Chains A and B, each alone.
Chain A
């Protein structure tokens, strides 16, 4: 009996130490486009589509929507909700230097604001 309990305890300790719990994950589903196509499609619509630029300003990253510079997610969401042409979709133009956190947040905000489609557009590389 004693040796069996020893083995059982060793097994228990092994599983206790090695177990890592999987964190719950979900997904975002942006369309992908390259810069040239975005410029073409933006000229076709009657209203200007929502284009969120995710940029680097000095040490911090910002969202730029029209002439407005936004730092907080909630503020971005508020501004995006005002747009009327939700069916035209929105575009998230992403600079290389911004953390991926900000990029994902911009896509999330567009979907949460009610845009039917969100396109991920990598910003043109600076010369």
Chain B
């Protein structure tokens, strides 16, 4: 069985095999890279700082956009809903506030009013520490 047509003598043909190899490698690369996104993390412009530690896995991530919306797991929620979720998380962990690791990712252009309000409410719930997300400057 002959799959390819016999090439006429003296005619130059483009070899497809290496090109397909490269294209497949590129596809695999982009497929892999595009998976490395975290569902809980909204695309935000965080403050550009060195930070103190590498990000640990938090139990609860609160995203605050530059417009002042609170986004949790891709859903825009109100402040009272946020506190309700934190309360649920707290009771799911036996009511121990030290077990709830809250990460606040706030856009650097946003004023601190929402974070302040959140901190006041979290303090009432007995939470004593938060994590603040920063972006390492490239």
Once A8-B20, A8-B27, A27-B55 are accepted as A-B contacts, the answer to whether A22 and B38 lie under 8 Å apart by CB is yes
For B64, list chain A residues within 8 Å (CB): 100
Quote the shortest CB–CB distance from B2 to chain A (angstroms). 15
Asked if B130 contacts A32 (CB within 8 A), the reply is yes
Asked if A21 contacts B50 (CB within 8 A), the reply is no
Is B112 part of the contact surface with A, judged by Cβ < 8 Å? yes
- A: number of interface residues (CB 8 Å): 45
Please name the residue on chain B nearest to A97 by beta carbon.
Answer: B111
For A96, list chain B residues within 8 Å (CB): 111-113, 116
Asked if A122 contacts B134 (CB within 8 A), the reply is no
Is B51 part of the contact surface with A, judged by Cβ < 8 Å? yes
A11 to B135, CA, bound (A): 31
Is A29 part of the contact surface with B, judged by Cβ < 8 Å? yes
Please name the residue on chain B nearest to A120 by beta carbon.
Answer: B119
Is A94 part of the contact surface with B, judged by Cβ < 8 Å? yes
Asked if A19 contacts B30 (CB within 8 A), the reply is yes
For A95, list chain B residues within 8 Å (CB): 112
Asked if B135 contacts A24 (CB within 8 A), the reply is yes
A52 to B20, CA, bound (A): 60
Is B128 part of the contact surface with A, judged by Cβ < 8 Å? yes
B residues near A, CB below 8 A?
Answer: 16, 20, 23-24, 26-27, 30-31, 33-34, 36-38, 41, 43, 46-47, 49-56, 64, 103, 106-113, 115-117, 119-120, 122-123, 127-136, 138
